[in-house]
Amino acid sequence: MDPYPSLDRRGFLRTTVHIGALAGAVAGSMLLGGCNSRPSPATSTTTTTLGPPDAADWKALGASLTGTLVLPTDPSYQLDRLLYNSKFTQLHPRAIAYCSTPDDVARCIDFATSRAVALAPRSGGHSYGGYSSSPGLVIDVSQLSAVSVDTGANTAVVGAGARLIDVYDAVGRHDRLLPGGSCPTVGIAGLALGGGLGVFGRKYGLTSDNIRSVRLVTSDARFVTADAATNPDLLWACQGGGGGNFGVATSFEFNVHAMPQVTLFTLQYPWAAAPTMLEAWQHWLGTAPDEIWSNCLLLSQGTSGYLAQVGGVFCGSPAEFASQLAALTSAIATAPLNSFVGSNDYISAMEIEAGCSGLSIASCHLAPEGQLSRSAYSAKSSYVNAPMTPSQIALIVEAVVDLQDEAPTVGGGLAFDSYGGIINRVASDATAFVHRDKLACIQATYSWSAYTPSSEIAAGERWLTWLGTNVFDPQTGAYQNYIDPTLDNWQSAYYGANFKKLVKVKRRYDADDIFSFAQSIPTIA
């Protein structure tokens, strides 16, 4: 059944909520009947706000879902409420709804809006700001995770809760790739709605550039499709406008690409060569073909010392990559401590990039289902528009040394991820993703464990603040998918000149600002 006919879902669902409040669970047959017809004005109830929900109302909501509702009294609640970043363990939603159909999503939105309960959509739960949790209802779409591939059309339909590793696995089985990010447990919705940069980005674009259409449930519980012909402004906003702003996405249709041969490379240098490495890398990247994606890492690894590394992916064979590699290594002019260049299949390459090489796809998930752990971290991002000067590079290297000095047992530092290629050939106003003239994105992070002294965690936080003020250039912007609750000018940093249009789209699809969090798109600029 297609749940996206031109049906006024809000009127329909308001009727069911009222009946549900009186009689408990809503009968499935009523819902099915309603899906095929537009309710007459007489049966469509108004938007009367009900009182705050009591235990019976929550129970009725749970009973009305095809999926499951987890309440604080349920044994799994303590695990279900967690996000990826363990610094958000204090967040306790009133309930978590595991929606297994778009209808479930609509019921949850209707319940929350009619009862004035705060809500937040959740896909993979990796929001840097913890914005996929809420003191009210978390609308979790992780059960909407089916992936189907049309090899003739080179498209894939992906459920909004699919994890990246499962998407890569599913499209890879059809010899196709979807450009996306590295972390295997990130959810496709959060990634794609805010951009999505990964190792195939320069050749095939951002994940958001590959969206053909999105299906969403809007704040008035309507099913909406956004594509080039229908609601094109909403499609535009969903291509980089950031998750959690315009509705709950239930699925995406993406362009996928025939899989090229993939060559991975990693070069690790002595820390003393870090300035030369960064200097050479940025100039090399500026003239590299689209087939090369690369990043440059300058890290303090706690008690293991420093890491200075250049690595990446080339779409082609090692032999085809050889001259490019030689150009880089001769410009760095120092012998690497370790180097690796090798051909890989797509899935192995993505597993290596994801840091779960050697594990099965099933194990590349968070425990307890998989073998990966959550982590606690803070981050800040900026962009490099043009090659940095030697003094800027010296400051960056010094900053990593400072982190090691101030917080010797935390891990952290700076990662430069290449932009350019096809990413930069899209006009900055063609989609909501504005960052189209960048050489690289810089991300500063530090992470800690349960054993890290609180003084070092505080030192890491001071270090990030200092970088944001003294090293990063606020005029270059910040990446909205590395959403940063401490950023003051986030509107211009994430969205630049596209912010005004995002506000207009917000007014059209969420005039009551139901999808709201500290850095959500407002209804008034």
Ligand X SMILES: Cc1cc2nc3c(=O)[nH]c(=O)nc-3n(C[C@H](O)[C@H](O)[C@H](O)COP(=O)(O)OP(=O)(O)OC[C@H]3O[C@@H](n4cnc5c(N)ncnc54)[C@H](O)[C@@H]3O)c2cc1C
Binding stretches for ligand X (CB under 6 A): 84, 120-128, 131-132, 141, 160, 181-183, 186-187, 189-191, 193-198, 243-244, 248-249, 481
Minimum CB–partner distance for residue 430 and ligand X (Å): 18
How many other C-beta atoms lie within 10 A of the C-beta of residue 63? 12
Amino acid at the residue 95: A
SS (H, E, C) 117-167: CCEEEECCCCCCCCCCCCCCEEEECCCCCCEEEECCCCEEEEECCCEHHHH
State the DSSP string of 227-253: SSSSSHHHHHHHTTS-TTSS-EEEEEE
Between 45 and 218, name the residue whose CB sits nearer to ligand X.
218
506 contacts 230 by C-beta, under 8 angstroms: no
Between 197 and 307, name the residue whose CB sits nearer to ligand X.
197
Minimum CB–partner distance for residue 112 and ligand X (Å): 13
Between 143 and 182, name the residue whose CB sits nearer to ligand X.
182
Minimum CB–partner distance for residue 501 and ligand X (Å): 18
Minimum CB–partner distance for residue 508 and ligand X (Å): 16
The number of C-alpha atoms within 13 Å of 76 and in the hemisphere containing its C-beta is 9
Between 189 and 310, name the residue whose CB sits nearer to ligand X.
189
Minimum CB–partner distance for residue 416 and ligand X (Å): 13
Between 190 and 413, name the residue whose CB sits nearer to ligand X.
190
Q: How far apart are CA 169 and CA 347, in angstroms?
A: 6
Query: Phi/psi class of residue 302: alpha, beta or left (left: φ > 0; alpha: ψ in -120 to 50)?
Result: left
164-172 vs 346-354: helix crossing angle, rounded to 10? 170
Between 57 and 417, name the residue whose CB sits nearer to ligand X.
417
Tokens 């968070």 belong to which residue?
A: 366
Question: How deeply is 42 buried, as exposed, middle or buried, from its count of CB atoms within 10 A (0-12, 13-18, 19+)?
Answer: exposed
Question: How deeply is 43 buried, as exposed, middle or buried, from its count of CB atoms within 10 A (0-12, 13-18, 19+)?
Answer: exposed
First CA to last CA distance, the chain: 39
Q: How far apart are CA 244 and CA 443, in angstroms?
A: 22
Between 122 and 176, name the residue whose CB sits nearer to ligand X.
122
Minimum CB–partner distance for residue 492 and ligand X (Å): 19
| H helical segments located in 308-450 | 318-332, 346-354, 390-406
Minimum CB–partner distance for residue 228 and ligand X (Å): 20
Q: Which two tokens stand for residue 223?
A: 């099913």
What phi, psi does 521 have (nearest 5°)?
A: -65, 125
Between 20 and 243, name the residue whose CB sits nearer to ligand X.
243
Minimum CB–partner distance for residue 468 and ligand X (Å): 18
Minimum CB–partner distance for residue 202 and ligand X (Å): 13
Between 115 and 122, name the residue whose CB sits nearer to ligand X.
122
Minimum CB–partner distance for residue 179 and ligand X (Å): 10
Listed in sequence order, the residues at least 6 apart from 326 whose beta carbon sits closer than 8 Å to its beta carbon are none
Q: Is the preceding omega at residue 368 within 30 degrees of 0, hence cis? A: yes
Between 280 and 379, name the residue whose CB sits nearer to ligand X.
379
Task: Give the closest residue to 370 by CA, choosing from 165, 139, 94.
Answer: 165
State the DSSP string of 456-501: HHHHHHHHHHHHHHHTS-GGG---GGG--TT-TTHHHHHHGGGHHH
Between 68 and 375, name the residue whose CB sits nearer to ligand X.
375
Between 245 and 300, name the residue whose CB sits nearer to ligand X.
245
Minimum CB–partner distance for residue 445 and ligand X (Å): 9
419 contacts 441 by C-beta, under 8 angstroms: yes
Minimum CB–partner distance for residue 155 and ligand X (Å): 19
Listed in sequence order, the residues at least 6 apart from 406 whose beta carbon sits closer than 8 Å to its beta carbon are 456, 459, 460, 462, 463
